[in-house]
Structure 1
Amino acid sequence: MQDASNEVPLTQEERERTSGLHDHPAAAATAATTTTAESHTVAAVALLQCGSKPYQPKGATRSTSKADGHPTKVPKSIGPVYSKAAFIDLRGVAKRSAFSHPSSVLEPLLISQASLDRVLVDRMSVDPNDSSNATLLDRGQLRLTLFDYLLDCWRRLEMVKSQTSRVKTLPVNVIEERVQSLNSSKGLLVSYAGLVIQMPDMFPQIQNGTNLGAQQLIDRLLADPDSASGVPTEFLKDIADRFKDDGLEAIIQPLVAGLAARARTATILTDWRTPLRALLTLVDVPAMAASIPQVATWNPTNATARQVEIVSALGPFLKTSGFCADDPSVAELFGTGLKRNKSDSSGAFASIRGAVRGLHTSLFQGVNGIVRSGAEPRERMLAYFYSVLRKNERRSQMQVDRATVSGDGFIYNITEILMRFCDPFMDNSHSKVDRISQTFFKGHSKIDISKVTRICAPKEVIDGYAGSEAPPGSINFISDIFFLTLGFHHIGVSRMYVDYKRFMKDFYEMRDQYDRLKEQETSGQLSAENGLLIKRYEAQLDKMITFRLSLESQILDPIILGHSFQFYNLVMVWLLRLVDPAQAYPRSPIKLPLPERPSDDFAILPEYIFEDIVEFFIFVLRHSPETVASSTLDELVTFTMVFLTSPGYIKNPHLKAKLVEILFFMTLPYRGQRNDDTLGIKLNTNPMALQCLIPAIMTFYVEVENTGRHSQFYDKFNIRYNISQILKFVWTNPIHRDMVKAESQKSESFVRFANLLMNDTTYLLDEGLSKLAEIHDIEVEMDDKVTWAAQTPQHRQEREGVLSTAQRQASSYIALGNETVNMLSYLTVEIKEPFLSAEIVDRLATMLDYNLVILVGEKMSNLKVKSPEEYRFQPRILLSDIINIYLHLDTPTFIAALARDDRSYSADIFFAASRILEGRNLKSADEIAKLARLVRKIEEVRQKGAEDEEELGEIPDEFLDPLLYTLMEDPVLLPTSNMSIDRSTIKSHLLSDTTDPFNRMPLKISDVVDNVELRDKIRAWKASQRSKATTAMEIDE
């Protein structure tokens, strides 16, 4: 209890400063200038004023209840205090408090700090539901909840404290004592506030449906924090400081649950910001941020992948989605109609992208606040992300029930949060790449990879690695974030890229079917059944367009793509450093060749890490190349070169094919049609590309002949098409051209390359041109309107199906065939010998002759179709390229091979070709003359050959090649089948098939044995036959 004799009288200045007290209800000014002894009273007065009615004039009285319920007058000396307190029955306080009898109404009523607790208890014990208390408190105060009362007291006390701290006329120690006393009083308010949150029925509360307890604080958190109905951050800090070690989790638990419940119903198009902002208000208080991961729903272990985004503490905030697959209301942004495109939806794109970017910023702010609140909350946050990742392993599968995994938005948002954590170590110099663990998957890894395919490790290495332990301290926060980001990319956007590709394929197929039906409708040939089908297609296409636009608004967002680009650059640098024997990359260039066998740390990595890299770059280079146009791409080029030239490091040929596909997309123009607007300039400037590109792609051209995949026959054409485009792109660079010449000196490997190039040309042109002939026939049939209309609907439908298939195949085959012929054309300018080898030259000659006949012979009219450009059929260019090859290989060896072609060669065909070339100005006069000279030389050789054949007469069977049935010149013996065959024939066979053609046993050219005896017999026979022919001629003469 404070004694009145300890009061320090107010100075004149202090009295003047409080002279307006009777005219203003605030007690802050009074409290700022009270005496030391009054400091506790200041706190009491400040808190008691909260919510008071306007101050009554001096001399006024106010009634309060006696114990018997009759009113009692309050002395005028207490009036100012009472008029501001107006909350409590002062009779009870007076019996337990020490009062001064101030001579001036300006002097405050003294209530000791010791009695402050009882003051608060008396006030909070007033039952607002008891009508008899209406005379004690006005009805407005009765409706005030205890939490609101305590918060308003806290606010008023904060104002008093602020003004007290600014007083300049009192000694510092006095100010400090008063502030300390105010802080103590504030602590008492906060304690009771925490109690009424946890136990709202501890004191009588208004019973009119008003939210009480935690819900009352939730309502204030959801309000504007700067408004009167909001809750100050400082108040939350006081709550956190008071209960940090005394049940703060019990306060936080219902708050987080309530905000999550509000977030659960929010969407990206509605008010998602309010509950998230409220959560951020809690996170802004470090102690509260640290308590959030302690709530029971933080990481529910029994929740499924689908449930975790709903029932976990942060799930409802993280699941807010811009994908219409998650939130159908998003579809409304993109309108309806089959003619919609990205341009029409630019406003919707900007709106949804802006909202999602804002969402990501706020989500990261919240997660970052929790992570930075302490070591334990950080580990719990990481554990939550690892748990979500494990629950969603099935998202990476080709076929998955969407109802059993988390939504795209949930995973997408977490991925972006993790990438923002990566920002500090994704600098351009990759200065912190050495802090990412290289042994993360050793022992009991936080990410289970026991069932996933590894890059190149055999089972024994995998088992041994799993049984070892990572070095102590090697797994740091950077490593956790790095591998989590890899994992979430794998189950998130990487899967979306693949799904988008598959979806677009289905979309285009349906649109093509729809377009064909509309053509029938226009021509009046549409059946009633197909009329209904058009309606179904229109409805389905409308939904598909909406889905496409929604998906593209997210996965083609340049900001997100740019962020992923930075991340995958880091991943590539980390992998290159891992395989670098010096462990010095990127500070020093990596040196090739790499050791034959990679380290176990690299070999055991999940193959999906590598696959996700290449899928990302293919996606971005194909759909949004401008996103990376300003980047150097050095890491990407180095990455592709290193792994294309290191066969022991990537066992899956599909991944190598993807590397080639990346290079292919780099060569394509991305701004209009200007050929210089490509990202492939790096292929002509990067030192490693200048050294490694040509050997790598030419070697892989041969390797893809046998990949072991069930689709290898068709895969190889697509891969080789990409290679042909790359080669054509760099052919103008003298350095690359010299590298091709150098490769051609490796006779065996280049002959295999040339053989496959020729084989592809043969097959592709044959298939492509035959499909064109098929299209021609069906178009002619359909043009006969009367006959076509007379056909049965089933017949027309079948023929239309055949036409559709032929059109699709013709486009593919002819495009690939064009490129292989063009490659032969420019390669044979500089390189001839491999194409003139005995195992190739005859087949090359017959292939060229056969296609020349089709292009300019009697059946060329069968290739006339309505829209040849749709199939990339350019007969003039194709003819010109084929003639180029003839002219480039104009040598005795090639002429002899042409002369031996009895199936397709004809001088008349060459003359017909010359007329077309000359008439269409496809060749110069000099080139036409060269072609004529070539034909004359062929005719001369053919004449000589016919004479030689006549001299030899009937060839004994033992001298005939068993495969070609021609006279053997250099017979060899096959060791396992014991068959004799001409060396050129078996070499040609082994270029495509490494087995003995007679028993399918493995065979190499080095295994064959010269059949000297048979060779000598053939030579002797030939000499004998020629001698007989000469003698006969002499006799005839």
Structure 2
Amino acid sequence: MTTPKAKKSFAQWQDDALSNILSATLDNTNPKRSTRCYLKGVADELRSEGIAVLITTQVFERVLVARLDEDMVAASGISVFEYLVGSWQMSQTVVSNLRGAKGKALDLAVREARVKALGEAQLLLVSYMGLSLQIPDMFPQLGRSGRAIMADALLADPNANPLAEQLPELLSQMAARFANDGLPEVIAPVISELGLRSLQRANRSLLQPGFRSILAALDTLTTNRQIAAAIPHMATFDPEDCNGRRMQTGTALGPFLALSGFPAGDESIAKVYYSDAPQRSHQDRESLHTSLRTTVQFLQSALFEIVNRLIRSGPGERTLTLQLTLRMLATNALRSGMQVDFTKVVDDGFADNLASVWMRLSEPFTNDASLSRLSRVDPDWVTLRALRSVRDGGLDDDQNHISTYWRELTRIDADKEQIDAYLEQQLRDQMPSDGGFIPDCFFVTAVALHLGFVSTIARYIEMMKRIGRFKSEIERVTNSPGMLTPAQRANLPVVMQRWESQLQDMKREKYAMDAQMLDPRRLICAMVFYRFVICFLLRQVDGQGAFPQQAFTMPPESGEKAGEKWRMLPEFLVEDAIEFVVFVTTYAPDVLTDSTAQVGQGGNGLRMFDDVLPLLVVTFLARPKLIRNPYLKAKLVDILHFLTYRDPREDDDYVDTLGGNIPGNIRLHPSIQQFQANLDSNALARAYLVPALLRFYVDIEQTGSSSQFFEKFTTRYYIARSLRALWARAPRYVEVTRRFFMQSGLGTSEATTTGSTRRDQRVIEEFVTRLMTDTTYLLDESLSKLAVIRDIEKKPAEAAGDNDDASRLEDAERMARSFVSLAHETVHMLAFLSRLVPRPFQASEIVSRLAAMLNYNLQQLAGPKCSNLKVQDMQKYSFNPRVLLSELTSVYVHLGLRTSKQSAAALSEETEAIDRFVMAVAEDDRSYSQALFDKAYFILEQRSLKSTQSLARLREFAHKCQSAKVDSRAMLFLESEAPDNYLDPLLASLMTNPVRLPTSDNIMELSAIKGQLLSDPRDPFNRAPLSVDMLEPLPELKREIAEWRERKLAEYQSRQ
């Protein structure tokens, strides 16, 4: 009969279980434990202390420490951390058994006691694991490090790595053990190891699968709330000595944020992924884009989840994460510059990922269709951040470079002295210490986009221009081999092969950039955010300050009501919103009308494209004092031009000119029609848009840019094209234009409905002057460049290989394309407006110069040298001299002949204005001749450019000029007989309305000095500042001259 097996005591069970877990024993007589490490020293100590020589929880730590002795570790052939992990895994297996089917056979109390004992053992194992991560030198460093083992487990497939399957439990125990005892120091080495692996070539590319495992590892770590809360407290999370480009490698999150879908961050994207893209179809390239975009979306979604967990883990952790982001942005401020040194700042991918994360974080309030939390954003947030470093307990304490960044931001309408004064005032006042997460998130997202996607836009556009220039050069050389020297022609095949290879590389980079820059998902997210930004800006200037909860009201023209908070806002808020809309309008217009981009989620709020964008354009053009930077206002004109676009090849509205193009041949994007309809239905646009454009045509004379002289012409061209589109589409805009030019000192109520103001009389005078001087300059430049092109084209082939000629031709062609288009549009606007509102163009102060300008350009277009204007390919430069001639001659008729029946008083005034213009044309001795009008008439008739009635009116005007030429002899007699004090000192002409210049005490003709002051507001004699309202009338001298003139005219006529 078999003797029953004696039951083990609890102490004996512990000894068996813990001995097995630790692979150690205190009993060297037990043959079952012969393979385990015998810890003789511990056994002897226990005997001497009178303690049972058994491994129990009471002596577990002593046994564990002895087992971790260097000799023991060396003998086992594994590292300390591997041993601890293995022991913990063994203990976890035992716990699982106890809680599983095997444990059910035990008494509940026995089972729980055993589980508790194992829990105590696991706690110690986890403690020593954490210590070995915190202080690696604490134990012998043999074999693989703890950080590497943990990283391997995090990266491994659970089916291939036993620890990977048990990792969530281990992390949970580790987090619980070190929650208040150095968890950041425990977890930091593991995250650093993951970061190092992320920087390895195999894991750095989105084209390889390695990066997914690394992101999954981070996801596993941050899923544990305690670990997520510990990460922001790690020393490596935001190290003080790390800034600029080092943020990519020197911070805990940097290597993961540096994962990039941009070609600059991963060369293999352009060189490998898009290697054959130039040869593929558009559909194939779109498939490539979609695949890469999906990968980037996975990356950015994973990064968002990670950062979101850090922020949500607690208020302190949110503050630390926010501060890290602020430092990342502040120390990479140079990314927004024109010439970026990427050895000093983070890559596009890093900046884009950071912006993407914060855009997602802002979605709960920006994606709200009703924008109900817009009021939560304090416009003084930037001021608050700039003051944090001088306030106790502030977010940016000891982070002076962050407050410096906020201090030095360019503001909407404040210089450095004003900013400093405002900051000092706010320091004296009581400011709130924290506005909550919404304003933090809003402004951080705005800055992240400013230094991320928006800064990349400029480089993308420059890349597109570079490719365009390179292709043009290839085409020029291919089409004009005669411009090369014999040696260059001989080497041309080799050069062309090299150039074609370079062009293919440029295209690959372009396609790689397209995948990111034109990604609809990214653009829609940004559009939703900028809808919020624009509404925030409009709220600050709204006449009632209640937008969008109430309808927007136009602010006063002075801009004073917006107040200091508006003026102190960062300029980039306005600039980025405009730049982004211009970019989307130009390169991805489909996004404009996307339903999500329009109103976010919900569907019934303010629509970005239909409601918000028209308000932005109209408000800041109509109230230019709100924004100091003319470049930003010019960008608003860009938006308007692109969204009211009408292709010049379809123009069919030439003034008093037969023929024209047939509209409808050029297919425009549907968004253009939609935007135009929105404008037409917008009451503010109907009232304010045309006057605003006409004023800005004058104001854009100064842009503040080094290239402002040429930039102003582009902006004026866009204004002219936008006005042309408005005039052609709706009679309402024509009427507003007419009322604007005809008004003089409107009352307040009328100004409200027309958008005109009392200052517009000066604007009208300056507008006419600008239009006149622009016409002269642009036509002169256009015709001179075309003459250069013609001269070079006429050279014989054997003389064409001159490098100087090639360079001159290239420059002349480039400038001709620009100047010809500008000249055509300026002449058209002159013709249209002179017909609509002739009186401003007949004003005495400008009529002589206008007549001289018209005569000079008529001589260019119809004079003896007009045949020199013909080049080989007129369409290449959009040059149509016949239309130019026809519209230019229509100006003579509009200003020199009566157009309609009027009252007696109006008729008298019109007759005086017409006579003044006719006399000015006839008195122009430099260019006027009757033969010139005869030649113009012949060309117009021969080419059927005008109707019979129009030609008859042109001939009638020419006859009037011929008659006036005879009358002008009397004026020459008067000027020859007049005393010096009756003559204008600059023009030597007889004065009719003399005025005194108080700044120099000289006397001039009123019309002459007014014309002078329109272009230069200074006294012509001593350059002192002078304005029209300072001029002093001289009624006595005026009467004296008039009486003398009457006597002398009678004398002249008696001699005839």
1:327-342 equivalences under 5 Å are: 327-332=266-271, 333-335=273-275
Is the Cα contact below 8 Å between 1:127 and 1:133 reproduced in 2?
A: no
1:563-582 per-residue CA deviation (whole Å, 9 max, x = no partner) reads 22222222222222233464
Count of residue correspondences: 946
Kindly state the Cα deviation for residue 722 of structure 1 after the two structures are TM-superposed.
1.8
Query: Residue 350 in 1 paired to residue 290 in 2?
Result: yes
Within 2, Cα distance between the matches of 1:522 and 1:952?
61
How far did residue 366 of structure 1 move? 0.9
Matched, 1:257 2:196: no
Q: 1:704 aligns with which of 679, 700, 703?
A: 700
Deviation at 1:978, TM superposition (A): 3.5
Selected match of 2:884 from 873, 878, 888: 878
Pairs within 5 Å for 1:281-320: 281-320=220-259
Which of the numbers 775, 778, 786 marks the counterpart of 1:772? 786
Q: Which of 311, 315, 335 lines up with 1:375 in the alignment?
A: 315
Question: Is the CA contact (8 Å cut-off) linking 1:197 and 1:213 kept in structure 2?
Answer: no
1:493 counterpart = 2:453: yes
1:91 deviates by 15
Cα offset, 1:430, TM superposition: 1.6
State the alpha-carbon separation in 2 of the partners of residues 676 and 951 from structure 1: 65
Q: Give the Cα separation in 2 of the matches to 1:1030 and 1:275.
A: 102
Correspondence for 2:149? 216
- The structural deviation recorded for 1:364 is 0.8
Q: Match for residue 823 of structure 1? A: 829
Q: State the distance in 1 between where 2:134 and 2:219 align.
A: 29
Is residue 238 from structure 1 mapped to residue 250 from structure 2 by the alignment? no
**Between structures 1 and 2, the one with greater helix share:** 2
| 1:157-191 Cα shifts (integer Å, max 9, x gaps) | 346536699x8x99xxx869956863663453354
Q: Which amino acid aligns with 1:565?
A: M
Unaligned runs of 5+ in 1: 8-36, 53-63, 73-81, 96-110, 790-795
Take 2:632 and 2:98, find their aligned partners in 1: how far apart are those partners?
70
CA distance in 1, matches of 2:147, 2:972: 110
Give the 3-state SS of the residue equivalent to 1:599 in structure 2. helix
Q: Deviations over 1:655-705 (max 9, x none)?
A: 222222222222237996337641343332223222221222222222222
Partner of 1:463: 420
Q: Which one of 1019, 1023, 1027 corresponds to residue 1046 of structure 2?
A: 1023
Counterpart of 2:800 (choices 788, 803, 812) is 788
- Once the two structures are superposed, what CA deviation does each residue of 1:382-422 show, in whole Å capped at 9, x if it has no partner? 12112212221232333343212222222221111111111
Aligned to 2:338: 398
Instruction: Rate the CA distance shift 1:933–1:297 in 2: closer, same or farther, 3 A.
Output: same
In structure 2, the residue corresponding to 1:964 is in which secondary structure? coil
Counterpart Cα distance in 2 of 1:675 and 1:380: 46
Q: Which residue of the partner structure matches residue 419 of structure 1?
A: 359
Q: Any idea what SS the aligned residue of 1:763 has?
A: helix
> Which residue does 1:444 correspond to in 2?
387
Question: Residues 672 and 40 (structure 1 numbering): CA distance in 2 closer, same or farther, change over 3 Å?
Answer: farther
Query: Are the structure 2 counterparts of residues 38 and 353 from structure 1 closer, same or farther at C-alpha, using a change threshold of 3 Å?
Result: farther
Q: Distance in 1 between matches of 2:270 and 2:689?
A: 46
1:913 partner amino acid: A
Q: TM-score, normalised by structure 1?
A: 0.81
Report if the CA contact (8 A) 2:238-2:252 is conserved: yes
How much does 1:435 deviate? 1.8
Residue 431 of structure 1, aligned match among 372, 390, 400 = 372
Match of 2:1011 among 988, 991, 996: 988
Measured at CA, do residues 906 and 163 of structure 1 come closer, stay the same or move farther in structure 2, by a change above 3 Å?
A: farther
- Corresponding position of 2:636: 659
Distance 1:344 1:856, change over 3 A: farther
1:753 aligns with 2:693: no
Deviation at 1:907, TM superposition (A): 4.0
| Alignment partner, residue 949 of structure 2 | 926
SS in 1 for 2:926: coil
- Displacement after TM superposition at 1:214 (Å): 3.5
Which stretch of structure 1 is more off in the superposition, 182-191 or 364-373?
182-191
Matched-pair contact (CA < 8 Å) for 2:278–2:508 = no
Whole-Å separation in 2 of the counterparts to 1:899 and 1:761:
20
Contact kept? 1:47, 1:156, Cα under 8 Å: no
- The 3 A distance-change label for structure 1 pair 538 and 424 is same
Confirm or deny that 1:453 pairs with 2:415.
no
Deviation at 1:264, TM superposition (A): 1.6
1:917 aligns with 2:937: no
| CA distance in 2 between partners of 1:879 and 1:123 (Å) | 101
Deviation, structure 1 residue 444:
1.8
Query: For 2:374 and 2:9, how far apart are their aligned partners in 1?
Result: 63
Change (3 A) 1:986 1:842: same
Identify which range, 348-357 or 511-520, moves more after superposition.
511-520
Deviation track 1:428-479 (CA, whole Å, cap 9, x = no partner) reads 2221122223322136244422333322235554223323346334432222
Say if 1:455 and 1:607, in contact at 8 Å, map to a contact too: yes
Partner of 2:585: 621
Conservation of the 8 A alpha-carbon contact between 1:117 and 1:188? no
The answer on whether the counterparts of 1:683 and 1:730 sit within 8 Å (CA) in structure 2 is no
- Asked if the contact 2:60–2:121 (Cα under 8 Å) also holds between the matched residues in 1, the reply is no
For 2:693 and 2:1001, the matched residues in 1 are separated by: 38
Q: Which amino acid aligns with 2:694?
A: M
Question: Cα–Cα, structure 1 residues 90 and 581, in superposed 2: closer, same or farther, change >3 Å?
Answer: same
- The question of whether the paired residues in 1 share the 8 Å contact of 2:130 and 2:174 is answered with no
Cα separation, 2, equivalents of 1:92 and 1:1001: 103
Once residues 1029 and 956 of structure 2 are traced to their aligned partners in structure 1, the CA distance between those partners, rounded to angstroms, is 40
Structure 1 residues 38 and 877, CA, compared in 2 at 3 Å: closer, same or farther?
farther
Distance 1:627 1:351 in 2: 20
Higher deviation after alignment, 696-705 or 117-126: 117-126
Residue 707 of structure 1: how far off its partner (Å): 4.7
User: Structure 1 residue aligned with 2:439, among 479, 492, 501?
Assistant: 479
DSSP 3-state at the match of 2:262: coil
* In 1, Cα distance between equivalents of 2:571 and 2:453: 17
**Cα deviation digits, residues 833-870 of structure 1 (max 9, x gap):** 21222123333333233323322333222111122222
Matched, 1:563 2:525: yes
Asked whether the 8 Å contact 2:974–2:990 carries over to 1, the reply is: no
Aligned with 1:738 (options 735, 738, 762): 735
Hey, what does 1:269 align to over in structure 2? 207
1:838 equivalent in alignment to 2:844: yes
Corresponding residue for 1:722?
A: 718
SS across alignment from 2:995: strand
Q: Secondary structure at the match of 1:981?
A: strand
| Among 541, 558, 570, the residue aligned to 1:606 | 570
Equivalence for 2:627: 650
CA distance in 2, matches of 1:160, 1:120: 25
Whether 1:956 aligns to 2:978 is: yes
2-side partners of 1:571 and 1:806: how far apart? 43
Q: Give TM-score scaled by structure 2 length.
A: 0.80
SS at match of 2:165: coil
For the pair 1:389 / 2:329, whether they are aligned, the reply is yes
Alignment partner of 1:803 out of 802, 809, 827 = 809
Q: CA deviation at 1:995?
A: 1.7
- Distance, in Å, in 1 between the alignment partners of 2:477 and 2:645 is 34
Moved more, 690-699 or 441-450: 441-450
**One-letter amino acid of the structure 2 residue matched with residue 419 of structure 1:** M
Q: Residue 287 of structure 1: CA displacement?
A: 0.9
RMSD: 4.4
Describe the SS at the equivalent of 1:972: strand
Q: What is the rounded CA distance, in whole Å, between the counterparts of 2:144 and 2:151 in structure 1?
A: 9
Matched-pair contact (CA < 8 Å) for 1:93–1:119: no
Quick one: distance in 1 between partners of 2:75 and 2:1029?
112
Residue 865 of structure 2 aligns to a residue whose secondary structure is helix
Range with greater deviation from structure 2 (986-995 or 872-881): 872-881
Deviation, 1:117, is 7.5
CA contact (8 A) 1:326 1:407 kept: yes
The code of the aligned residue for 2:546 comes to: A
2:616 aligned residue (617, 624, 639): 639
Ranked by relative contact order (alpha carbons within 8 Å, sequence separation 6 or more), the top structure is 2
